[in-house]
Amino acid sequence: MLTEPQLHGIFVPVVTPFAADGALDQASYDRYLGTLLARDIQGLVVNGTTGESPTVAWSEVESLVRWTKAAMARHGKTVPIIVGTGTNDTRSTLERTARAGEIGADAALVVVPYYSRPSQAGIVAHFRRAAEAGLPIVVYEIPARTGVRLGEETAAEILALDGVVGMKDSSGGMELLEAMIRRGVRKPILCGEDALFPAMLRQGAAGCILASANVRTDAFARVYRRFREGDASGAERAFEALAPLVRLLFADANPAPLKWLLTRQGRFDSGALRLPLLPVAAELQRELEEALGRLGQEQGG
């Protein structure tokens, strides 16, 4: 099971490859995981937003976890697996979290309940119940997708719960992280806002869960490593080269641009998405390819 000290560094949210007929593409997934596991990463996230979690059935999540563990065994590298289990139904979240533990997940990524727009007290109660499943919980705050924002006191109360080991902060700014640091919260908070990665590291983030780290994984690892070595300015300079690509990766709905790039690089056989997501337009494809070219042709991730 994932411990608080393990929740640091580069956690890559995996993309879910689909064949042209919409089924899971195991061959592409195995090839893709091989490139990630060869990099200096500290963990993987299965069934996050980047993995198109709204359209992936739970039976498919179990297959992805099984394939991920098998890939680790083949490549001789083991990192923690965090599985997205959160829904806007507390009962199903509890059931999925318990099942994730049974199939070998090291932690669960549980999003703030979306669409229902619960009260702050209801959100705390949701996470308290989720933690009862016995699997370490990483809170996922992303108000742009959930329609509700964690208050400062609510976030601190949730992070104080037994069984909650940390948070992915995709709140859109620095305020929540700054508030938790100011309150003396010691549990790790990971940056979930790709464009804010070096700024959040400087402020006290323990690492990241970033979709864009799929493309130039080594470069993101260098940013993190330089910061940990005390070279914050060097980390920021290293990230500046990545910033144009990061911006383009979110010019359309994630993971559509990322999936196109992974297919272009040969890691996926198909860039198929599940509706309602659609492939990126030709103009964005051109911009992505140009941005990647400017970064140089670093092998693989």
Which residues are marked as active site?
140, 168
Q: Are 200 and 174 in contact (CB under 8 A)?
A: yes
CB neighbours of 144 closer than 8 A, spacing ≥ 6? 170, 172
Cα-only R_g, the chain = 18
Q: Are 149 and 183 in contact (CB under 8 A)?
A: no
Helix axes 152-159, 120-131, angle to 10 degrees: 10
Report in angstroms the alpha-carbon separations of 262 from 85, 118, 152, 188, 270.
Answer: 25, 37, 37, 30, 9
Classify strands 137-141 and 164-169 as parallel, antiparallel or unpaired: parallel
Neighbours of 157 (CB within 10 A): 18
Q: Which candidate, 294, 186, 279, places its Cα nearest to that of 246?
A: 294
Alpha-helical (H) ranges within 76-112 are 90-102
Q: Which candidate, 208, 181, 178, places its Cα nearest to that of 192?
A: 208
> In whole angstroms, what is the distance from residue 217 CA to residue 261 CA?
14
Return the C-alpha torsion angle 44, 109, 164, 132, nearest 10. Answer: -120
Distance between alpha carbon 267 and the CA centroid of its chain, in Å?
Answer: 19
